[in-house]
Structure 1
Amino acid sequence: MHVLISGAGIAGQALAYWLRHHGFTPTVVERAPGPRPGGYKVDLRGVAVEVADRMGIGEHVRARATDMRGGTWLTRAGKPVAKLSGDLIGFRDPGDLEILRGDLADILHRATSGDVEYLFDDAIATIQDDGRGVHVIFEKSPPRTFDLVVGADGLHGGVRALAFGPETGCAEGLGLSVAVFSVPNHLSLDRWEMACTGAGHIANLYGLRPTSDATAQLFFPTPDPPPGRHDRPAQQRAVADAFAQHGWEVPRMLAAMHAADDFYFDSLAQIHLPNWSKGRVTLLGDAAYCPSPASGQGTSLAVVGAYVLAGELAAAHGDHLAAFERYERELRPFVELNQRLGRDVVKQLVPATRLRAWAQFTMLRMMPYMPGKARMMEQIMKPIREAANAITLKPYTPALR
């Protein structure tokens, strides 16, 4: 059974691994000219760590984990409020893993490149599902027919647009936008993160090694109207305007932003669809059920979703209609809990008013001295832990070999 996967990110490559494991023949098409290096920090939590171990890549992920030592929380003016451990500032349980997105993508590519066909520097132009197969016209490669097509091409997925319609019908904005880009590591940050918070805004800065660039992450209220998706100058103007009154390292971040060759900007949004499949086409990861970066669970949903989708196709012996229905039934409660987590985190992590920012700082200052500190931390971690483990993985058996 031949399956075309659009997108060579985490979701697409994880699915390629599991499809090949179960005896299918996957092809991955990716618009970029090759595997994308770099990127921001991402997490594998709870059951996603178990999936990585079942893939045999768990130790590779651990070897390339960020191993963050901790972080400092600051006011908008740059006044330190509290120092937190690496697990606390990253909201991680022991055993959870944090890794650069590009490093995880590289690990997945190494695990699949010998057995999986990759079409880089290309994309799907049109798809036509005639009930017996999906006829695909590529932008560059010759047309081909596949048994199934999977859109694993992100929040603004092209396959979803082709098969399900415009993004406006399924995207729910959370009121914030984010810009991420590399900056010189002026503070010589060594596996250390710094979070500078003001009403409605957060400026994050982290570095993994004193000798390499740091990464800036700037969260702020989405402008009205928002800048165009491909209008980089307008996006950078919006970021500069939003953080014009911030002190600390923010002016140097804004100065470096214009020269950054990895500048990324988007609104925080979730994807909500009544169905993730249509005929022989289905969606995976952010394209189907993006929880937003605020949840910290997008990568975990991608990895777990790939495991379940491939496993259900194997269990159904290639009966895609039955497999797609079971995939959604197994995964949707897990997805919905993590999307709720994403909405809650936006409200709690980014204080909307100065009063809420003051309350957040007060709690952070007092936390080391509170007699109920352990209980408070348990309350903070409980919803994250529950969301990360809200699915029981089936022991799928390779059925087509």
Structure 2
Amino acid sequence: MNILISGASVAGPALAYWLHRQGHRVTVVERAPAPRDSGYAVDFRGRAFEVLEGMGILEEVRGHDTRMRGTDLVDAEGRVTGELPAEAFAGELEVPKRDLTRILHRVTEGDVRYVFGDSISALTQDGTGVRVEFENHEPAEYDLVVGADGVYSTVRRLAFGPHTDHVRHLGMSGVGFTTANHLGLDRRGVLHSAPGRAIYLFSAAEPDRMTVSLSFATDSPQLDLLDRATQEELVRTAFADFGWEVPRLLKEMGEAEDLLFSSACQVEMDRWSTGRVVLVGDAGYCAAPSSGMGTSQALIGAHDLARRLAEHDGDLAGLTAAFAAHERELRPYVADNQRHGREAVKMLGG
């Protein structure tokens, strides 16, 4: 089959790897101008290790282990009151996301056609194929289109309807950024949580840098669409009464070049496919960053989808059967991860 995948983060390249091995022609389109060099640490649990091993990259990925050593729980004055084991945030293995993205791109770029700096603008499908229009390239026909383009997936919006129909806000928003490691954290984290607010600081792969997460209770994911100045003001208001390191962190927030504002949310859908269009990873079933399962779920979902496609013909009936079998197998796993994601948000003050 001639297959188009939208999204070149984790799920997209992983799926492209398996589909190419099955003999399909694969194109990956990505809005970013090059492989993304952003994101913080990602972790792996359970069957994700089998997928990495099958791709021949497990040991290379292990070589980027952040080797986190746990997280101190602190009160509002920064006094240690308890400890969480490394596995609570880092899973069985944690690596910087940019390293994983780079590895996945490297092992596929010789076999898969990558188109950076473009995005899908329209989809029209019938029983025999999908006509895809792009923002910057000429239209093309594909046998299958896969949305692996994240929570606010363009493919999902075009094929299934607006984001508001599928994105469930979990009641927490916040910012993440990096700054100088002035706490001297050594592969360790610090967490303070209070009703409606949470502060998480850690230093891992770069000993001179510290990652900062400031989260607070909100009632709308639309805050993600506001301008940076407004988002920063929301954070300052939420943490205005905090002492300890917070005043300094709020000042550094305004100077950060890598600031990212996001809302904790999940993607809930009755089905992950329609005709010759299917979703994988966060686009179809995001479990929220708080679940700690996003990367593992993306890798496992991509592998399982490819396996099911290999068991059926490429006509519409075969694709429909493959998608149905894929959902029957993966949905219990996704439901469990999403439950953990909701519970973790509550633990962090949501």
Question: Normalised by the shorter chain, which TM-score bucket?
Answer: over 0.9
| SS of residue matched to 1:270 | strand
1:249 CA drift (Å): 2.0
For 2:328, give the aligned amino acid. Answer: R
Distance 2:19 2:167 in 1: 28
Distance 2:221 2:297 in 1: 30
| Residue of structure 1 aligned with 2:126, choices 130, 140, 144 | 130
Q: 1:169 to 1:2 in 2, by over 3 A?
A: same
1:167 CA drift (Å): 1.0
- 1:19-78: CA deviations, max 9, x gaps? 112211111100111111141111110111111111111111110011112222111222
1:224 CA drift (Å): 5.9
**Could you tell me whether the CA contact under 8 Å between 1:10 and 1:303 is conserved in 2?**
yes
Distance 2:26 2:197 in 1: 42
**Could you tell me whether the CA contact under 8 Å between 1:189 and 1:209 is conserved in 2?**
no
For 1:10, give the aligned amino acid. Answer: V
Q: 1:206 to 1:272 in 2, by over 3 A?
A: same
Partner of 1:341: 340
| Residue of structure 2 aligned with 1:103, choices 99, 104, 119 | 99
1:84 CA drift (Å): 4.3
Partner of 2:324: 325
- Judge which range, 191-200 or 270-279, deviates more: 191-200
Distance 2:237 2:172 in 1: 14
TM-score (norm 2): 0.94
| Residue of structure 1 aligned with 2:141, choices 139, 145, 158 | 145
Partner of 1:30: 30
Q: Calculate the aligned-residue CA RMSD, in Å.
A: 1.7
1:192 CA drift (Å): 1.4
| SS of residue matched to 1:227 | helix
For 2:86, give the aligned amino acid. Answer: G
- Judge which range, 10-19 or 33-42, deviates more: 33-42
For 1:189, give the aligned amino acid. Answer: L
**Could you tell me whether the CA contact under 8 Å between 2:68 and 2:90 is conserved in 1?**
no
| SS of residue matched to 1:324 | helix
Partner of 2:241: 245
Tell whether 2:307 aligns with 1:311.
yes
- 1:202-231: CA deviations, max 9, x gaps? 111111256532111122101569535152
1:179 CA drift (Å): 1.4
- 1:151-199: CA deviations, max 9, x gaps? 1110011110000001111121111113111112112322111112222
For 1:57, give the aligned amino acid. Answer: I
- Judge which range, 11-20 or 195-204, deviates more: 195-204
**Could you tell me whether the CA contact under 8 Å between 1:227 and 1:238 is conserved in 2?**
no
- Judge which range, 172-181 or 160-169, deviates more: 172-181
Aligned residue pairs total 347
- Judge which range, 153-162 or 41-50, deviates more: 41-50
Tell whether 2:162 aligns with 1:173.
no
1:287 CA drift (Å): 0.7
Q: 1:287 to 1:224 in 2, by over 3 A?
A: closer
Partner of 2:14: 14
1:113 CA drift (Å): 1.0
Distance 1:165 1:225 in 2: 17
Percent of matched pairs sharing the same residue? 47
1:312 CA drift (Å): 0.7
Tell whether 2:261 aligns with 1:262.
no
- 1:119-152: CA deviations, max 9, x gaps? 0011001111122111111111121111110011
1:236 CA drift (Å): 1.4
**Could you tell me whether the CA contact under 8 Å between 2:232 and 2:254 is conserved in 1?**
yes
1:201 CA drift (Å): 1.3
- 1:234-268: CA deviations, max 9, x gaps? 21111111112222222222112122222111211
Distance 2:338 2:344 in 1: 10
Distance 1:234 1:304 in 2: 37
TM-score (norm 1): 0.83
For 1:342, give the aligned amino acid. Answer: G
- Judge which range, 78-87 or 167-176, deviates more: 78-87
For 1:320, give the aligned amino acid. Answer: L
For 2:12, give the aligned amino acid. Answer: G
Match runs of 1:56-135 below 5 Å: 56-87=56-87, 89-90=88-89, 92=91, 96-135=92-131
4+ runs deviating over 4 angstroms = 223-226
Distance 1:224 1:83 in 2: 32
| Residue of structure 1 aligned with 2:348, choices 330, 334, 350 | 350
For 1:59, give the aligned amino acid. Answer: E
Distance 2:101 2:7 in 1: 11
